[in-house]
């Protein structure tokens, strides 16, 4: 830059709304937003999640309604989480063709699958009685390779129920490769995988565990989710491995506390980068707004712009339908 003040005056481009809108470097679009939705077996009315105001555990009927609203708003995708009535140690309901998640996938893809992308979380924590993301050894550790077999079966069941994308979130080593091989072997070679490549053992997940009823009954998930204090190179190693195994898109979770990881992924990869604005991020803004401490709408939009500016192509957010309507 050659000119200096008083010739150079950056405020010239900020002096009115039309100018600011014209030169904005970061823009949100409804098609970039993905709405997480929860469906619970055995309830006859949607149940509010106390720690996430405005979020519900849906019935199959209310889920269809929420899906239609998202589609009408222009939201780009939905990701479904299922809560079965009966849980066991191996998460049998996760790949049951008649399980709540597979039923919900069939419902939603039949009605709005042409308008947006319907996908499902591919994990076990919502389905196991112990609340962990995989099969446990007798000592209580998560057995990585035994869990891969379950993930492969779940992914195929989801694809056969109509899931248009598979989103493995368990952070097991080799999960993308195992799922890719299973999908291809079952005739689903065209179903893409959105890999949770950098998922951190985060305190920001707390309210989600109320919504999905998946809190661990003992211990935590630090043996497989990444350490929040871990080095950047660890996250980059994870994403390189997922791409080598066949991931079509990659994800960082959570979002706001990991903008540096999102930016690093965007520099590193040539596939879409997603970021999950998680339950804790949502709950904090809603709580602060309810107390009058922040402007709710401005804070929501600013948080999403920050995630987009960091490099996210896709954003999973519980405000997807609301924000899509506002854009």
Burial of 203 (0-12, 13-18, 19+ CB in 10 A): exposed
| 33-to-2, 98, 305 alpha-carbon distances in Å | 40, 29, 12
| Neighbouring residues of 131: CB distance < 8 A, sequence distance ≥ 6 | 125, 214, 215, 216, 217
Q: Among 94, 118, 96, which residue's Cα sits nearest to residue 105?
A: 118
Structure confidence at residue 210 (pLDDT): 84
Structure tokens at 44: 């006859």
Structure confidence at residue 1 (pLDDT): 59
Residues constituting the chain: 327
Neighbours of 26 (CB within 10 A): 11
Structure confidence at residue 26 (pLDDT): 95
Cα 126 to its chain centre, rounded Å, is 14
For residues 148-176, b (16+ Cβ closer than 10 Å) or e, as one string? bebbbbbbbbbbbbbbbbbbbbbbbeebb
CB contact at 8 A, 34 and 317: yes
Query: HSE (CB half, 13 Å, CA atoms) of 142?
Result: 27
Task: Respond yes or no: is residue 253 known to be catalytic.
Answer: yes
d(CA 324, CA 282): 16
* Per-residue pLDDT in tens (0 to 9) along the chain, 327 residues: 578 999 999 999 999 999 999 999 999 999 999 999 999 999 999 999 999 999 999 999 999 999 999 999 999 999 999 999 999 999 999 999 999 999 999 999 999 999 999 999 999 999 999 989 999 999 999 999 999 999 999 999 999 999 999 999 999 999 999 999 999 999 999 999 999 999 999 999 888 888 877 888 887 888 889 999 999 999 999 999 999 999 999 999 999 999 999 999 999 999 999 999 999 999 999 999 999 999 999 999 999 999 999 999 999 999 999 999 999
Q: Which of 40, 65, 87, 199 is flagged as catalytic?
A: 199
Q: Which of 40, 87, 253, 308 is flagged as catalytic?
A: 253
Task: Respond yes or no: is residue 40 known to be catalytic.
Answer: no
């Amino acid at each position: 830059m050659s000119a200096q003040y008083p010739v150079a005056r950056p405020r010239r481009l900020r002096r009115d709304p039309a100018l600011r809108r014209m030169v904005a470097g970061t823009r949100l679009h409804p098609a970039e937003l993905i709405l997480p939705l929860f469906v619970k077996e055995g309830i006859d009315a949607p149940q509010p999640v106390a720690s996430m105001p405005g979020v519900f555990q849906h019935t199959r009927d209310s889920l269809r309604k929420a899906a239609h609203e998202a589609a009408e708003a222009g939201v780009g995708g939905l990701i479904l989480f299922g809560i079965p009535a009966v849980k066991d140690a191996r998460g049998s309901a996760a790949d049951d063709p008649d399980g709540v998640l597979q039923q919900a996938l069939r419902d939603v893809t039949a009605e709005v699958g042409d308008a947006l992308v319907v996908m499902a979380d591919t994990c076990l924590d919502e389905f196991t009685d112990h609340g962990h993301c995989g099969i446990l050894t007798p000592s209580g550790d998560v057995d990585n390779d035994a869990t891969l077999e379950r993930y492969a079966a779940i992914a195929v069941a989801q694809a056969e129920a109509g899931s248009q994308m598979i989103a493995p979130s368990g952070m097991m080593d080799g999960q993308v490769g195992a799922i890719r091989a299973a999908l291809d072997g079952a005739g689903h070679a065209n179903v893409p995988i959105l890999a949770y490549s950098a998922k951190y053992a985060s305190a920001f997940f707390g309210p989600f565990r109320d919504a999905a009823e998946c809190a661990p009954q003992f211990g935590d998930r630090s043996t497989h989710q990444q350490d929040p204090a871990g080095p950047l190179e660890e996250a980059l190693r994870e994403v390189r491995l997922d791409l080598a195994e066949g991931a079509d898109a990659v994800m960082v979770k959570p979002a706001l506390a990991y903008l540096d990881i999102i930016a690093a992924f965007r520099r590193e990869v040539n596939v879409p980068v997603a970021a999950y604005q998680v339950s804790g991020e949502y709950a904090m803004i809603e709580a602060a707004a309810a107390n009058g401490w922040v402007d709710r709408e401005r804070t929501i939009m600013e948080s999403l712009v920050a995630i987009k500016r960091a490099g996210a192509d896709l954003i999973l957010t519980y405000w997807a339908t609301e924000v899509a309507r506002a854009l």
